[in-house]
Amino acid sequence: MTRFDAATADFNWLLQNVVRLDDVLATGAFPHVDNEIAADLVTAAGDFIGEVIAPLSEASDRIGVSLKQGRVQTPPGWKEAYALWREGGWPGLTAPRSYGGQEVPFLLQACVATMLGGADLAFAMVSAAPRAACSVLLAHGEPGLRDLCVPKLASGEWGATIAMTEPQAGTDVGMLRTKAVRRGDRFALSGSKMFISNGDTDLTDQILHLMLARIEGAPAGVKGLSLFLVPNVQMTADGSLGARNGVSVARLEEKMGLHGSATCVLNIVEAEGFLIGRENEGLQAMFTMMSELRIETGLSAVGIGASATAHARAYAHERRQGRRPGGDGPAPIAEHPDVARMLSIMTVLTEGGRALVLENAKLIDLGRHAADEADRARADRLSAWLLPICKAALSDNAIEVANLGIQIFGGHGFVRESGAEQFLRDVRVLALYEGANGIQAIDLVMRKLKRDTGASLRDFVAAISVDRQAAANTPGVDAIRTAVESGLQSLERASQALLAAGSDREDAVLAGASAYLALVGRLSLAWMWLRMANAGSEQKRRHAAFFAQYYEAEFQLHESRVLRALGL
């Protein structure tokens, strides 16, 4: 029974008809890429990931990682798969060609990352952090450090982590204690970091930790944090490796799921580090990496949702039990109305999420490469607006999808050999990664809505309005179009109430933030279903109609929660 869905046909359809890769190619930033090459890349990725990566998932879960003589040992098959991953050039898809990468649009990378998350989330995480580290070094790194490290990361020869969390600090990074002492043009770092994904593995000889620390004498709080590159192994200017660098794994966390990912506690003792960017501006530089990893979280969530849905659908069509309504039996349980309902929920949340996260990826490309400065600024605002939605709403949706998959399997879903329960154990952490989902809600309301007095909101509404107009005369889309209009009305009322709340009502605003994110999240999926219904097949329109029927009532529910939090 299938446990992985590459969804290559849907990806290619979305790229051509819904998200429109052509808009990115029209910027002229990717003259070596066309639609045919893009389709071939997506298809090849689906084949490779399905054949090489997806089979790792069971060993990742059942055997997991281990710590032997201070080094992390990856699950069986990982080394061989990682070598093939490197050989195929997959680690450097978006890296500049001048650094050995393939320099394709981030939109295509998003397709590949989604598949990878659906095949084996633990392996996907090994791939994600080095790409994000490349982005940080390209944006903020000193030229010598950048020129040394980016080619190694793009080739997959070296790995990377984001090393931020400390035991006493958690989300409050202003409480970080890791210190950095100047040693000529370098620094010696000491402290402890926890929850460091793939803080050590046997896949690469070098791992670069992008680490926040406080230089002696720096201001307290977040204004005193600087960003450093701290290698696991000391290195020379030409990349030659020497002795271990004072970074060691103190412990591997034993987790609910995601057993193939080495979640490490790191001890840092006088480890040599290199400053990235300016002193005391480390958090701003680190956000380059965090933003990319937040969208990676959404991509992985959609990937796991797709695999959980395919797995449940296959079982529901094979499993015969009970009788058809008004008919005979035993019948496939997929024909039972409540099972059909659950399968429909899984489908609309996953396929809607796939379109949304690709739309966000496209906006990231346009924010970097659109010819007109105003177009770049607009794309940046809208992609930033969607980022907490793609991270938080889509990870929440994936948890719901995985949970429904267990329900469809019935008692067998609670048994490990079914494979259904692993999806839920693995995906659950995505609501915690890169800023827990409540933090994403606060970011949406306090930074994306109130700080710019609704400018990003207006961009969001304007984008939806374009698609409402485009679908005005399309037959068969009335239900989803009406649902979108209802969602926009609820969004307008909730947004205006939050914008009107003064600084003395901050506690009330924060209390309503999660409901506001849920409202925007549902409306964002309705928007994508409107666009897909307008461009799509009869099946897409049926799914869009189901989404409208099932979720339209939630708009007013979430609106009322926002207003009640504000005492209105």
Residues in the chain: 568
> Mind giving me the DSSP string for 434-496?
TS-HHHHHHIIIIIIIITTTTHHHHHHHHHHHHHHHHTTT-TT-HHHHHHHHHHHHHHHHHHH
Residues 232 and 247 sit within 8 Å (Cβ to Cβ):
yes
> Mind giving me the DSSP string for 496-512?
HHHHH--GGGHHHHHHT
Distance CA 361, CA 399 (A): 22
Residues 148 and 215 sit within 8 Å (Cβ to Cβ):
no
Tokens of 347: 């489908």
Residue 1, judged by CB atoms within 10 A of its CB (0-12, 13-18, 19+), counts as exposed
272 is catalytic: no
**Torsion region of 186: left, alpha or beta (phi above 0 gives left; psi -120 to 50 gives alpha):** beta
Residues 50 and 306 sit within 8 Å (Cβ to Cβ):
no
Distance CA 237, CA 87 (A): 25
In sequence order, the 6+-apart residues with CB closer than 8 A to the CB of 365 are 24, 27, 29, 105, 106, 107
**Exactly one of 58, 292, 296, 434 is catalytic; which is it?**
434
Cα radius of gyration rounded to whole Å, the chain = 24
Distance CA 390, CA 358 (A): 10
- Residue holding tokens 């059942």? 62
What is the CA 265 to chain-centroid distance, rounded? 23
Task: For 70-95, give one letter per residue: b (16+ CB within 10 A) or e.
Answer: eebbbbebbeebbeebbeeebbbbbb
Residues annotated catalytic, as ranges: 434
